[in-house]
Structure 1
Amino acid sequence: MKKIVENGLWKSRFIVILAVIFSFMGSVILFFVASFDVFSVAKFVLSTLLTGEHPEHFHEDIVAGVIAAIDLYLIAVVLLIFSFGIYELFISKIEAACTQDDCSSVLNISSLDQLKDKIAKVIIMVLVVNYFERVLHTDYKTPLELLYFALAIVALSIGLYFTGKVGKK
Protein backbone atom coordinates (compact mmCIF):
# COMPACT_ATOMS: atom_id res chain seq x y z
CA MET A 1 0.00 0.00 0.00
CA LYS A 2 2.82 2.38 0.91
CA LYS A 3 4.51 1.81 -2.44
CA ILE A 4 1.29 2.53 -4.35
CA VAL A 5 0.69 5.79 -2.44
CA GLU A 6 4.29 6.94 -2.90
CA ASN A 7 4.26 6.04 -6.58
CA GLY A 8 0.96 7.90 -7.06
CA LEU A 9 2.27 10.96 -5.22
CA TRP A 10 5.46 10.98 -7.28
CA LYS A 11 3.56 10.74 -10.57
CA SER A 12 1.12 13.46 -9.48
CA ARG A 13 3.91 16.00 -10.00
CA PHE A 14 3.07 15.90 -13.70
CA ILE A 15 -0.03 18.03 -12.98
CA VAL A 16 2.31 21.04 -13.09
CA ILE A 17 2.54 20.51 -16.85
CA LEU A 18 -0.70 22.54 -17.00
CA ALA A 19 1.08 25.51 -15.37
CA VAL A 20 3.99 25.06 -17.77
CA ILE A 21 1.80 24.95 -20.88
CA PHE A 22 -0.52 27.80 -19.97
CA SER A 23 2.16 30.13 -18.60
CA PHE A 24 4.16 29.53 -21.78
CA MET A 25 1.06 30.27 -23.87
CA GLY A 26 0.47 33.45 -21.86
CA SER A 27 4.08 34.46 -22.46
CA VAL A 28 3.78 33.99 -26.21
CA ILE A 29 0.52 35.94 -26.28
CA LEU A 30 2.08 38.83 -24.36
CA PHE A 31 5.11 38.88 -26.69
CA PHE A 32 2.76 39.21 -29.67
CA VAL A 33 0.61 41.88 -28.01
CA ALA A 34 3.66 43.93 -26.98
CA SER A 35 5.11 43.64 -30.48
CA PHE A 36 1.79 44.79 -31.94
CA ASP A 37 1.87 47.78 -29.54
CA VAL A 38 5.36 48.75 -30.74
CA PHE A 39 4.18 48.39 -34.33
CA SER A 40 1.20 50.67 -33.53
CA VAL A 41 3.53 53.29 -32.03
CA ALA A 42 5.73 53.12 -35.11
CA LYS A 43 2.67 53.52 -37.36
CA PHE A 44 1.53 56.52 -35.27
CA VAL A 45 4.98 58.14 -35.56
CA LEU A 46 5.17 57.60 -39.31
CA SER A 47 1.65 58.90 -39.95
CA THR A 48 2.33 61.95 -37.77
CA LEU A 49 5.60 62.71 -39.55
CA LEU A 50 4.06 62.25 -42.99
CA THR A 51 1.13 64.56 -42.26
CA GLY A 52 3.40 67.21 -40.76
CA GLU A 53 1.30 67.48 -37.60
CA HIS A 54 2.86 67.74 -34.19
CA PRO A 55 0.36 66.80 -31.48
CA GLU A 56 0.72 68.48 -28.10
CA HIS A 57 1.93 65.40 -26.22
CA PHE A 58 3.66 63.70 -29.16
CA HIS A 59 6.87 62.67 -27.38
CA GLU A 60 5.11 61.62 -24.20
CA ASP A 61 2.67 59.45 -26.17
CA ILE A 62 5.51 57.73 -28.02
CA VAL A 63 7.51 57.07 -24.87
CA ALA A 64 4.41 55.89 -23.00
CA GLY A 65 3.54 53.47 -25.81
CA VAL A 66 7.04 52.00 -25.90
CA ILE A 67 7.22 51.76 -22.11
CA ALA A 68 3.84 50.00 -22.04
CA ALA A 69 5.23 47.47 -24.53
CA ILE A 70 8.35 46.98 -22.40
CA ASP A 71 6.07 46.36 -19.44
CA LEU A 72 4.27 43.61 -21.37
CA TYR A 73 7.58 42.12 -22.52
CA LEU A 74 8.78 41.96 -18.92
CA ILE A 75 5.58 40.24 -17.78
CA ALA A 76 6.00 37.80 -20.68
CA VAL A 77 9.53 37.09 -19.45
CA VAL A 78 8.17 36.40 -15.95
CA LEU A 79 5.77 33.83 -17.40
CA LEU A 80 8.54 32.31 -19.51
CA ILE A 81 10.91 32.01 -16.55
CA PHE A 82 8.08 30.52 -14.49
CA SER A 83 7.22 27.91 -17.12
CA PHE A 84 10.86 26.88 -17.64
CA GLY A 85 11.55 26.83 -13.90
CA ILE A 86 8.50 24.79 -12.97
CA TYR A 87 9.26 22.33 -15.77
CA GLU A 88 12.87 21.89 -14.62
CA LEU A 89 11.94 21.58 -10.96
CA PHE A 90 9.08 19.10 -11.29
CA ILE A 91 9.37 17.31 -14.63
CA SER A 92 12.90 17.16 -16.05
CA LYS A 93 15.99 19.18 -16.89
CA ILE A 94 15.80 20.78 -20.32
CA GLU A 95 18.58 19.07 -22.25
CA ALA A 96 18.46 21.55 -25.13
CA ALA A 97 19.51 24.31 -22.71
CA CYS A 98 22.75 22.52 -21.89
CA THR A 99 25.71 22.33 -24.25
CA GLN A 100 28.36 19.63 -23.93
CA ASP A 101 30.47 21.59 -21.45
CA ASP A 102 28.14 24.17 -19.98
CA CYS A 103 24.70 24.06 -18.43
CA SER A 104 24.60 27.65 -17.11
CA SER A 105 21.57 28.95 -18.94
CA VAL A 106 19.77 32.02 -17.68
CA LEU A 107 16.70 29.83 -17.44
CA ASN A 108 18.48 27.01 -15.58
CA ILE A 109 16.60 26.70 -12.30
CA SER A 110 17.81 24.38 -9.55
CA SER A 111 15.55 25.30 -6.62
CA LEU A 112 12.23 26.92 -5.85
CA ASP A 113 14.04 29.78 -4.07
CA GLN A 114 16.14 30.45 -7.16
CA LEU A 115 12.98 30.54 -9.30
CA LYS A 116 11.32 32.88 -6.81
CA ASP A 117 14.35 35.22 -6.80
CA LYS A 118 14.48 35.41 -10.61
CA ILE A 119 10.76 36.09 -10.86
CA ALA A 120 10.90 38.68 -8.06
CA LYS A 121 13.66 40.63 -9.82
CA VAL A 122 11.69 40.76 -13.06
CA ILE A 123 8.52 41.77 -11.21
CA ILE A 124 10.43 44.61 -9.55
CA MET A 125 11.51 45.77 -13.00
CA VAL A 126 7.88 45.59 -14.17
CA LEU A 127 6.87 47.83 -11.27
CA VAL A 128 9.68 50.31 -12.01
CA VAL A 129 8.72 50.49 -15.69
CA ASN A 130 5.05 50.88 -14.75
CA TYR A 131 5.96 53.68 -12.34
CA PHE A 132 7.82 55.61 -15.03
CA GLU A 133 4.96 55.07 -17.46
CA ARG A 134 2.61 56.74 -14.99
CA VAL A 135 5.08 59.52 -14.22
CA LEU A 136 5.02 60.61 -17.87
CA HIS A 137 1.38 61.68 -17.57
CA THR A 138 1.65 63.40 -14.21
CA ASP A 139 1.52 67.18 -13.89
CA TYR A 140 3.62 68.67 -11.12
CA LYS A 141 2.01 71.82 -9.76
CA THR A 142 3.93 72.47 -6.55
CA PRO A 143 7.57 72.19 -5.50
CA LEU A 144 6.52 69.60 -2.91
CA GLU A 145 5.22 67.31 -5.67
CA LEU A 146 8.58 67.62 -7.45
CA LEU A 147 10.34 66.77 -4.20
CA TYR A 148 8.16 63.65 -3.82
CA PHE A 149 9.02 62.70 -7.39
CA ALA A 150 12.75 63.09 -6.69
CA LEU A 151 12.47 61.06 -3.47
CA ALA A 152 10.62 58.32 -5.33
CA ILE A 153 13.42 58.14 -7.90
CA VAL A 154 16.02 57.93 -5.12
CA ALA A 155 14.01 55.17 -3.38
CA LEU A 156 13.72 53.23 -6.66
CA SER A 157 17.44 53.61 -7.30
CA ILE A 158 18.33 52.35 -3.83
CA GLY A 159 15.92 49.44 -4.19
CA LEU A 160 17.39 48.47 -7.56
CA TYR A 161 20.91 48.73 -6.15
CA PHE A 162 20.12 46.35 -3.31
CA THR A 163 18.18 44.03 -5.62
CA GLY A 164 21.33 43.69 -7.70
CA LYS A 165 23.32 42.85 -4.56
CA VAL A 166 21.04 39.96 -3.55
CA GLY A 167 22.73 36.63 -4.11
CA LYS A 168 26.16 38.15 -4.82
CA LYS A 169 29.10 38.17 -2.48
Structure 2
Amino acid sequence: MRNIVERVFEGALWNSRFMVILPVIFALFGATALFIVASVDIWDMVVATWDVFINHIHLKDFHDSLVSGVIGAVDLYLIAVVLLIFAFGIYELFISEIDDAKESEAGSKILAIHDLDELKSKLGNVIVMVLIVSFFKKVIHMDFATPLDMLYLAGSIFALALSLYYMHKSHEKH
Protein backbone atom coordinates (compact mmCIF):
# COMPACT_ATOMS: atom_id res chain seq x y z
CA MET A 1 0.00 0.00 0.00
CA ARG A 2 1.36 3.38 -1.03
CA ASN A 3 1.86 5.92 1.67
CA ILE A 4 0.10 9.24 1.60
CA VAL A 5 3.20 11.29 0.74
CA GLU A 6 3.89 9.17 -2.32
CA ARG A 7 0.26 9.44 -3.52
CA VAL A 8 0.14 13.20 -3.02
CA PHE A 9 3.50 13.74 -4.70
CA GLU A 10 2.71 11.50 -7.67
CA GLY A 11 -0.70 13.10 -8.06
CA ALA A 12 0.83 16.57 -8.03
CA LEU A 13 3.55 15.47 -10.44
CA TRP A 14 1.02 13.96 -12.85
CA ASN A 15 -1.24 17.02 -12.71
CA SER A 16 1.71 19.35 -13.32
CA ARG A 17 1.41 18.39 -16.99
CA PHE A 18 -1.44 20.89 -17.19
CA MET A 19 1.16 23.67 -17.06
CA VAL A 20 1.60 23.14 -20.79
CA ILE A 21 -1.76 24.83 -21.28
CA LEU A 22 0.09 28.17 -21.02
CA PRO A 23 2.33 27.62 -24.07
CA VAL A 24 -0.66 26.18 -25.92
CA ILE A 25 -2.77 29.29 -25.27
CA PHE A 26 0.02 31.74 -26.03
CA ALA A 27 1.07 29.85 -29.17
CA LEU A 28 -2.53 30.22 -30.34
CA PHE A 29 -2.44 33.94 -29.52
CA GLY A 30 0.84 34.27 -31.40
CA ALA A 31 -0.48 32.36 -34.41
CA THR A 32 -3.61 34.51 -34.48
CA ALA A 33 -1.54 37.70 -34.30
CA LEU A 34 0.72 36.52 -37.14
CA PHE A 35 -2.26 35.53 -39.30
CA ILE A 36 -3.79 38.97 -38.75
CA VAL A 37 -0.55 40.86 -39.45
CA ALA A 38 0.16 38.84 -42.61
CA SER A 39 -3.42 39.32 -43.81
CA VAL A 40 -3.22 43.08 -43.23
CA ASP A 41 0.06 43.12 -45.17
CA ILE A 42 -1.62 41.31 -48.07
CA TRP A 43 -4.57 43.71 -47.89
CA ASP A 44 -2.19 46.67 -48.06
CA MET A 45 -0.63 45.16 -51.19
CA VAL A 46 -4.07 44.70 -52.76
CA VAL A 47 -4.84 48.38 -52.05
CA ALA A 48 -1.48 49.44 -53.50
CA THR A 49 -2.11 47.32 -56.60
CA TRP A 50 -5.53 48.92 -56.96
CA ASP A 51 -3.96 52.37 -56.74
CA VAL A 52 -1.34 51.53 -59.35
CA PHE A 53 -3.60 49.91 -61.94
CA ILE A 54 -6.99 51.53 -61.41
CA ASN A 55 -6.16 54.98 -60.03
CA HIS A 56 -2.89 55.23 -62.03
CA ILE A 57 -0.86 56.28 -59.01
CA HIS A 58 2.82 55.65 -59.65
CA LEU A 59 4.65 53.94 -56.80
CA LYS A 60 8.43 53.71 -56.85
CA ASP A 61 9.73 50.12 -57.03
CA PHE A 62 6.16 48.78 -57.02
CA HIS A 63 6.99 45.32 -58.35
CA ASP A 64 9.89 44.78 -55.96
CA SER A 65 7.87 45.88 -52.95
CA LEU A 66 4.91 43.74 -54.03
CA VAL A 67 6.99 40.58 -54.40
CA SER A 68 8.87 41.29 -51.18
CA GLY A 69 5.61 41.95 -49.35
CA VAL A 70 4.00 38.73 -50.55
CA ILE A 71 7.06 36.71 -49.57
CA GLY A 72 7.09 38.40 -46.16
CA ALA A 73 3.41 37.57 -45.65
CA VAL A 74 3.97 33.94 -46.65
CA ASP A 75 6.82 33.84 -44.14
CA LEU A 76 4.50 35.12 -41.39
CA TYR A 77 1.79 32.63 -42.36
CA LEU A 78 4.29 29.76 -42.18
CA ILE A 79 5.53 30.85 -38.76
CA ALA A 80 1.89 31.01 -37.61
CA VAL A 81 1.45 27.44 -38.86
CA VAL A 82 4.52 26.41 -36.82
CA LEU A 83 2.85 27.87 -33.73
CA LEU A 84 -0.42 26.07 -34.50
CA ILE A 85 1.29 22.72 -34.98
CA PHE A 86 3.23 23.33 -31.76
CA ALA A 87 0.04 24.18 -29.84
CA PHE A 88 -1.90 21.17 -31.12
CA GLY A 89 1.02 18.82 -30.62
CA ILE A 90 1.85 19.89 -27.08
CA TYR A 91 -1.83 19.74 -26.12
CA GLU A 92 -2.26 16.24 -27.54
CA LEU A 93 0.99 14.93 -26.06
CA PHE A 94 0.50 16.23 -22.54
CA ILE A 95 -3.19 16.82 -21.93
CA SER A 96 -5.63 15.00 -24.20
CA GLU A 97 -6.34 13.94 -27.75
CA ILE A 98 -8.56 16.43 -29.53
CA ASP A 99 -11.86 14.68 -30.21
CA ASP A 100 -12.92 17.10 -32.97
CA ALA A 101 -9.68 16.37 -34.83
CA LYS A 102 -10.46 12.64 -34.83
CA GLU A 103 -13.82 13.32 -36.45
CA SER A 104 -12.34 15.64 -39.09
CA GLU A 105 -10.61 14.11 -42.12
CA ALA A 106 -8.21 17.02 -42.59
CA GLY A 107 -7.44 17.65 -38.94
CA SER A 108 -6.72 14.04 -38.15
CA LYS A 109 -3.90 13.93 -40.71
CA ILE A 110 -2.39 17.38 -40.43
CA LEU A 111 -2.56 18.22 -36.76
CA ALA A 112 -2.70 14.83 -35.06
CA ILE A 113 0.47 14.28 -33.06
CA HIS A 114 1.08 10.87 -31.50
CA ASP A 115 4.61 11.23 -30.17
CA LEU A 116 7.39 13.74 -29.71
CA ASP A 117 9.26 12.57 -32.82
CA GLU A 118 6.19 13.22 -34.97
CA LEU A 119 5.86 16.73 -33.49
CA LYS A 120 9.54 17.43 -34.15
CA SER A 121 9.23 16.15 -37.71
CA LYS A 122 6.19 18.28 -38.51
CA LEU A 123 7.71 21.37 -36.91
CA GLY A 124 11.01 20.73 -38.66
CA ASN A 125 9.35 20.52 -42.08
CA VAL A 126 7.53 23.81 -41.65
CA ILE A 127 10.62 25.50 -40.18
CA VAL A 128 12.65 24.40 -43.21
CA MET A 129 9.99 25.97 -45.43
CA VAL A 130 10.19 29.19 -43.38
CA LEU A 131 13.95 29.22 -43.87
CA ILE A 132 13.57 28.66 -47.61
CA VAL A 133 11.08 31.51 -47.90
CA SER A 134 13.34 33.76 -45.81
CA PHE A 135 16.28 32.83 -48.03
CA PHE A 136 14.22 33.67 -51.12
CA LYS A 137 13.29 37.02 -49.61
CA LYS A 138 16.96 37.85 -48.98
CA VAL A 139 18.07 36.69 -52.45
CA ILE A 140 15.56 38.98 -54.17
CA HIS A 141 17.28 42.03 -52.72
CA MET A 142 20.88 40.93 -53.35
CA ASP A 143 23.14 42.41 -55.96
CA PHE A 144 25.29 39.89 -57.77
CA ALA A 145 28.49 41.67 -58.72
CA THR A 146 30.84 38.80 -59.46
CA PRO A 147 30.60 35.33 -60.97
CA LEU A 148 31.51 33.98 -57.53
CA ASP A 149 28.32 35.54 -56.14
CA MET A 150 26.32 33.63 -58.75
CA LEU A 151 28.19 30.44 -57.87
CA TYR A 152 27.30 30.92 -54.20
CA LEU A 153 23.66 31.45 -55.18
CA ALA A 154 23.67 28.28 -57.30
CA GLY A 155 25.27 26.33 -54.46
CA SER A 156 22.69 27.62 -52.00
CA ILE A 157 19.82 26.69 -54.28
CA PHE A 158 21.34 23.23 -54.77
CA ALA A 159 21.65 22.78 -50.99
CA LEU A 160 17.99 23.81 -50.53
CA ALA A 161 16.86 21.41 -53.25
CA LEU A 162 18.90 18.63 -51.68
CA SER A 163 17.40 19.26 -48.25
CA LEU A 164 13.86 19.19 -49.71
CA TYR A 165 14.68 15.95 -51.53
CA TYR A 166 15.92 14.27 -48.35
CA MET A 167 12.94 15.57 -46.36
CA HIS A 168 10.64 14.03 -48.96
CA LYS A 169 12.60 10.77 -48.92
CA SER A 170 12.39 10.54 -45.13
CA HIS A 171 8.59 10.82 -45.30
CA GLU A 172 8.33 8.03 -47.86
CA LYS A 173 9.80 5.60 -45.30
CA HIS A 174 7.11 6.42 -42.70
Give 1:1-169 correspondences, 5 Å limit: 1-52=5-56, 55=59, 57-99=61-103, 104-169=108-173
Cα deviations by residue, 1:105-141 (Å, 9 ceiling, x for unpaired)? 3100001111011101101100000000111111111
Please give the alpha-carbon distance, in whole angstroms, between the structure 2 residues aligned to 1:74 and 1:109.
Answer: 18
Q: How many residues are paired up?
A: 169
Measure, in 1, the Cα distance between the counterparts of 2:94 and 2:6.
22
User: Please, which runs of 5 or more residues in structure 2 have no aligned partner?
Assistant: none
> 13-22 or 91-100, which moves further after superposition?
91-100
TM-fit CA distance, 1:150: 1.2
Paired with 2:107 and 2:68, the residues of 1 have a C-alpha distance of 38
Post-superposition Cα deviations, 1:57-82, rounded to whole Å, max 9, x if no partner, equal 32221111000000000000000000
What is the aligned-residue identity percentage? 48
Q: 1:139 to 1:120 in 2, by over 3 A?
A: same
Provide the C-alpha distance between the structure 2 equivalents of 1:110 and 1:127, rounded to a whole number of angstroms: 26
1:2-54 Cα shifts (integer Å, max 9, x gaps): 11111110001000000110001100110000000101111111112234355
Q: Which sections of structure 1, spanning at least 5 residues, go unmatched?
A: none
CA distance in 2, matches of 1:90, 1:16: 7
**Cα distance change, pair 53–18 in 1 and its aligned pair in 2 (3 A):** same
Specify whether residues 71 and 2 from structure 1 end up closer, same or farther in structure 2 by C-alpha distance, changes over 3 A only. Answer: same
TM-score by length of 2: 0.90
C-alpha change, 1:29 and 1:156, in structure 2 (3 Å) is: same
What code does the residue aligned with 1:140 have?
A: F
Q: TM-score, normalised by structure 1?
A: 0.93
Aligned-CA RMSD value: 1.9
